[in-house]
Structure 1
């Protein structure tokens, strides 16, 4: 008898549209619609003023009406977020490789990486903005500080968790340190790195928003955080909620995109991405 997943067309199998996939899509979608419907009903039933809590319909209307302004701010915030994530990945992986190759380097620099993680970015962001003349560069540094540590921590753990028997086997066959790193340690650390990447994706967005709040930059270079501050000062609460909705939606999209990348890179060989037998 042909298993259910094997009976699906190749295109549907590639998209993962099996019988077990639809509940994962429909359950949160239905719950979200119920929550939005209850929110809209409560606002209308109790006649809550829009300057206190607007309804989802009014927020959607504001989003459409103010889209030219909000879309530009969204682009600014996303640019800082993605650049910070790119820098965090580049620097984090490079530093993790150094940590795995030298215990002295790890013992010397890891405490400073921990210090960056435990120091609230909202406390040091004003200093960074004062010290760095370029506002965009200061925002990038703040977002990078938040996103940096998960990459370093997870990748270092992955590199140090390589099977010792396989390391001895590589050494037995005369593999160089570079060959062992590229062909064994880095592939073994890939699941750890991708887990840290998913975490850092959301943290880079949080760092960008916090930095924008502190900077309070207006004009063409203003992000969504500034639009929230501006809307609060002007009591344009529907626009504030619209900006918040864009931030939340952006965070979800970033997480889903990075989860898809993780699945595509691990689906053929790692247990975390392989389909479990029923």
Structure 2
């Protein structure tokens, strides 16, 4: 009896995994630094545990976890990816929920979290750890022949506002990163929805100027300036992350 029960459990798990893989139709890559991994609701390295309605789990929203398996997506979305910080609410879940609410025929949404806190765009250049991880996870999500990568959501740049050399080099590095990624994924027209910074230090406007004028096709910029920040004046609040996710969904639609 015990062996039969174990066999049934294994078969059920295998069926769920296979069914989830077969259902993923619309894949979205989530990359950048802490405001993409999401620190909404995090104070003094503690997440308050509050999940806004717009970030609720939905059987039609899956995520590729750290083990490259499709699982039902829940907040904090990046908890098993950006493991060196305490993650909270980010834009990924409100983005996906808003898409499904607006487009009844969209089908299953697959989110691929890849963001890491505290990095510069130089750390996303071809050949770096973050770049290779992004390509690996994106490829793992797509090679199962069960879906199409629709877009990358990109929110990064605060770390490049500290020094003028980083800020001035941002545009060229951004263009190189986007171009190399499209080439390595075999998606020369991949839609990239990026965020113009809501916060930063001395050279924020230099980086924002590059983000608002990327000079590349199929790169759409959503401006986060003016969205409410946490008390650290760096990270978006949970309610701001909800708004940002919806803004990015509108940009995609």
Question: TM-score, normalized by length of structure 2?
Answer: 0.22
Question: TM-score, normalized by length of structure 1?
Answer: 0.20
Structure in which a larger fraction of residues adopt helix: 1
